[in-house]
């Protein structure tokens, strides 16, 4: 229904803003109340907007969330003195000032840095950030981090307890803490974009709202000179390059279009140019990271006029360097895919065999799909069919399933 799509769209764009602004006013000790209030507000919107949508949905959501938080706090008889002041004109003006554009941006950036506070473990930081900044569900966080839902739940509980116990403030990091905190912030933005670019949700492969949210958060950081770095510019370049291809990833028939078949005339040139500029800016800083390499790989794909013109040897070199500085199962999988593209089957098989069973968790179907491609190229049809069937069974996304079913038919010689 149209109203549900509107609420879902606003949830992706407004959830993080609402959490940050209301937390700025009510304080981190009341974060769970704020989260409950925002969730309640979106549920209420889903029900009420069936009859009629408000003229300004964003303003409606924010006002409703404010009112809900106040109601919840009154119910538990908290901060009585403060609520007497809420009725005064000056305090109401102070509250309204928090909703000015620059205050909204500052609140969101502060929330990101709170999420990446050193008192939290790196694992807790990421889970907490994905929940509070973009409203990820348990399943989405688990999929993004390739771990179990129950583990995410425990991390969120520990993170909230630490924030309360250590009286962490809703504030900017100290200058000497910025660099280390930014590493966590960038990883969160990266994961938000990845979930949008290749969603784990059953009904759709791409969530453009999440991709846009990641780009927006990255731009917010780049506005502040003290946060700029080569890695941040490289991350922004990477997101721009990937986002430029979104329109070509799904066909008009709602089917997946792989990179080799994509209509490159649909790639969005303004984003490509923005990415080129950001990648150039990244080279002007002394730091060097995995984001530089991933952006360079994405740039190689972007600059190829046709799929056949792709410089696979250069991409292979970049992936090898990436795997050296940041070894991972997903990195080994990508490296294996490149070896298959240049028909280096033995090298691909060694990498695939090095990936631990279940190491990719919710995305383990990608490993089976890659094995299927290896066996297909090696002329081992039965093994290829077995692996593609495992990939189909492991995939939770309907578009992915349909794509893999077509691939299975091709391997079987029926398409």
Q: What is the Cα 234 distance to its own chain's centre?
A: 16
DSSP codes, 144-179: HHTS-HHHHHHHHHHHHHHHHHTT--SSPPPGGGHH
Q: What is the pLDDT of residue 371?
A: 97
For residue 345, how many other CB atoms are within 10 A of its CB? 16
Residue 149 and residue 14 in contact, taking contact as beta carbons nearer than 8 Å: no
> What does the block give as tokens for 242?
């990937």
Buried b (16+ CB within 10 A) or exposed e, 245-279: bbebbbeeeeebbeeeebeeeebeeebbebbbebb
Q: What is the pLDDT of residue 129?
A: 86
Number of H helices, E strands in the chain: 21, 0
> What does the block give as tokens for 13?
């764009």
For residue 115, how many other CB atoms are within 10 A of its CB? 24
Nearest alpha carbon to residue 167 among 28, 275, 50, 302: 28
Nearest alpha carbon to residue 283 among 230, 238, 325: 230
pLDDT in tens, the chain (415 residues): 555 666 676 777 788 888 888 888 778 888 888 888 888 888 888 787 877 788 888 888 777 777 777 776 676 555 555 545 445 444 455 555 555 566 677 888 888 889 888 899 888 888 888 888 878 888 888 877 777 889 999 999 999 999 999 998 888 888 888 888 899 899 889 988 988 888 766 667 788 878 988 898 899 899 989 899 999 999 999 999 999 999 999 998 888 999 999 999 999 999 999 999 999 999 999 999 999 999 999 999 999 999 999 999 999 999 999 999 999 999 999 999 999 999 999 999 999 999 987 778 778 899 999 999 999 999 999 999 999 999 999 988 888 999 999 999 999 986 5
Q: What is the pLDDT of residue 88?
A: 44
C-beta contacts of 97-106 below 8 A and 24+ residues apart:
98/21, 98/24, 98/25, 99/21, 99/62, 103/21, 103/24, 104/17, 104/20, 104/21, 105/220, 105/223
When computed from its CA atoms, the radius of gyration of the chain, rounded to whole angstroms, is 23
Question: Residue 182 in 3-state DSSP?
Answer: helix
Q: What is the pLDDT of residue 91?
A: 45
């Amino acid at each position: 229904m149209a109203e549900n799509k509107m609420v879902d769209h606003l949830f992706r764009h407004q959830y993080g803003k609402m959490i940050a602004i209301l937390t700025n006013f009510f304080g981190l000790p009341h974060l769970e109340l704020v989260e409950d209030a925002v969730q309640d507000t979106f549920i209420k919107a889903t029900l009420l907007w069936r009859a009629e949508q408000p003229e300004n949905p964003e303003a409606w959501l924010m006002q409703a969330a404010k009112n809900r938080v106040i109601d919840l706090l009154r119910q538990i008889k908290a901060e009585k003195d403060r609520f007497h002041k809420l009725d005064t004109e000056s305090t109401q003006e102070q509250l309204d000032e928090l909703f000015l554009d620059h205050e909204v941006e500052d609140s969101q950036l502060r929330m990101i840095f709170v999420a990446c506070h050193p008192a939290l473990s790196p694992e807790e930081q990421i889970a907490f950030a994905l929940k509070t900044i973009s409203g990820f569900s348990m399943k989405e966080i688990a999929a993004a981090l390739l771990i179990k839902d129950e583990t995410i739940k425990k991390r969120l509980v520990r993170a909230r307890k630490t924030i309360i116990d250590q009286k962490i403030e809703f504030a900017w990091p100290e200058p000497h803490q910025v660099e280390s905190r930014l590493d966590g912030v960038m990883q969160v933005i990266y994961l938000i974009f990845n979930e949008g670019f290749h969603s784990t949700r059953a009904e759709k492969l791409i969530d453009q709202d999440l991709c846009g949210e990641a780009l927006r958060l990255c731009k917010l950081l780049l506005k502040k000179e003290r946060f700029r770095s080569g890695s941040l510019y490289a991350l922004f370049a990477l997101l721009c390059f990937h986002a430029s291809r979104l329109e070509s990833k799904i066909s008009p028939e709602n089917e997946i279009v792989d990179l080799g078949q994509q209509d490159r005339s649909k790639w969005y040139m303004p984003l490509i140019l923005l990415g080129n500029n950001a990648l150039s800016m990244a080279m002007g800083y002394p730091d060097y990271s995995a984001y530089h390499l991933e952006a360079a790989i994405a740039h190689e794909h972007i600059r190829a006029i046709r799929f056949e013109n792709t410089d696979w040897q250069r991409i292979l070199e970049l992936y090898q360097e990436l795997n050296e500085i940041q070894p991972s199962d997903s990195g080994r999988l990508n490296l294996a895919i490149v070896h298959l593209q240049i028909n280096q089957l033995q090298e691909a098989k060694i990498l695939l065999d090095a990936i631990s069973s279940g190491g990719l968790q919710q995305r383990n179907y990608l490993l089976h799909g890659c094995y299927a491609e290896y066996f297909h190229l090696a002329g081992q049809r039965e093994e290829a069919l077995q692996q593609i069937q495992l990939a189909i069974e492991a995939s939770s996304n309907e578009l992915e399933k349909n794509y893999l079913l077509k691939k299975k038919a091709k391997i079987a010689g029926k398409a």
